[in-house]
Structure 1
């Protein structure tokens, strides 16, 4: 990635990347409105942002070009599975709050399972394999979640920061997906760089 400012540039490349991330974030938010397209949109955003390391621009136009090539039945199936999982966890938490015996313990268990599943799903979106093969990406993300608990904690913190930003100022909700995709991509790249060092 280029780090120096060229002649005539008002802002350096890092500021340009930040602006591109916000543009990609708006594009992801718009594409994700049907909810079923969220995994494909987030995965495509991560792939576009990963290209910055090879000096490929991370623009909304490049995002839409990449997304048009990949909205296949597998991507929509991944969206349906994610949507069903979120609905199930929310329904379980609602039942636990209804005063059922053992409700607090069940709510804690459901929240822990939901958090673990969300971490694996988000790490799967950041993996390059998600562009072509979701099952391989999910298996790899599950291994990463176990082998790299620090990265999984970073994913949870990134989601918490994104949710807090959107909650504090609602218009930021349309920018948050790009920042979340950048965080997921950074965690995935970090995991691949940490693994060889641990093997030494």
Structure 2
């Protein structure tokens, strides 16, 4: 285990944890307009992926990368994600209104929403999302089908982030960092599995 450097309080293992929290806070701020949420999460995954290559995983690097990449495709991806979330919420609200066949419809809508969320989140973790969302989404859909265990891990990461945010509301501003780390880890896991 590497020794602490002079003036270092926690040691090298805690440095990544602190970086993940700072990137999470930066992601929460960048994603507040909602249309920028996919680009914000994709950038967080890119910054954390760079930590494997000894690049700094800091909020400063995050905002520099985000500033260089925001484009019309990122806003279109955000609009599509927002429209999908609103459609799912409306469908579930209608199912809760007591319409005939509502229980079956609610389960079907929730399953479709979960699948769409997995593909969207896995797309954010892919390097292609920095330049081409269509390629990222098609590759993420293929990964979601071929790597069911990774898709389950993505759902668990989302459930954990939502549960932590619900239990302690201030954690909602830090949750995107650990979520981005989990998405990046699932993508790296998939990449390693496909090479072996």
**Bin of the TM-score, shorter chain as denominator length:** over 0.9
Given the superposition, is the C-alpha separation of residues 132 and 5 from structure 1 closer, same or farther in structure 2, using an over 3 Å criterion? farther
1:78-117 correspondence runs (5 A): 78-117=77-116
TM-score, structure 1 as length reference: 0.95
Contact 1:145/1:151 (<8 A) preserved: yes
Gaps of 5+ in 2: none
Residue 188 of structure 2: aligned partner: 189
Q: CA deviation at 1:14?
A: 1.8
Contact 1:126/1:181 (<8 A) preserved: yes
1:1-200 correspondence runs (5 A): 4-8=2-6, 9-197=8-196
Q: Distance in 1 between matches of 2:132 and 2:164?
A: 32
CA offset digits 1:159-199 (Å, max 9, x no partner):
000001001101111000011000000000001111222xx
Q: Distance in 1 between matches of 2:180 and 2:29?
A: 14
Gaps of 5+ in 1: none
CA RMSD of aligned residues (A): 0.9
Contact 1:96/1:106 (<8 A) preserved: yes
Q: CA deviation at 1:16?
A: 0.4
Q: CA deviation at 1:6?
A: 4.7
How many aligned positions are there? 195
Q: Distance in 1 between matches of 2:22 and 2:38?
A: 18
Q: Distance in 2 between matches of 1:103 and 1:10?
A: 55
Task: Give the secondary-structure state (helix, strand or coil) at the position aligned to 1:185.
Answer: helix
Contact 1:29/1:174 (<8 A) preserved: yes
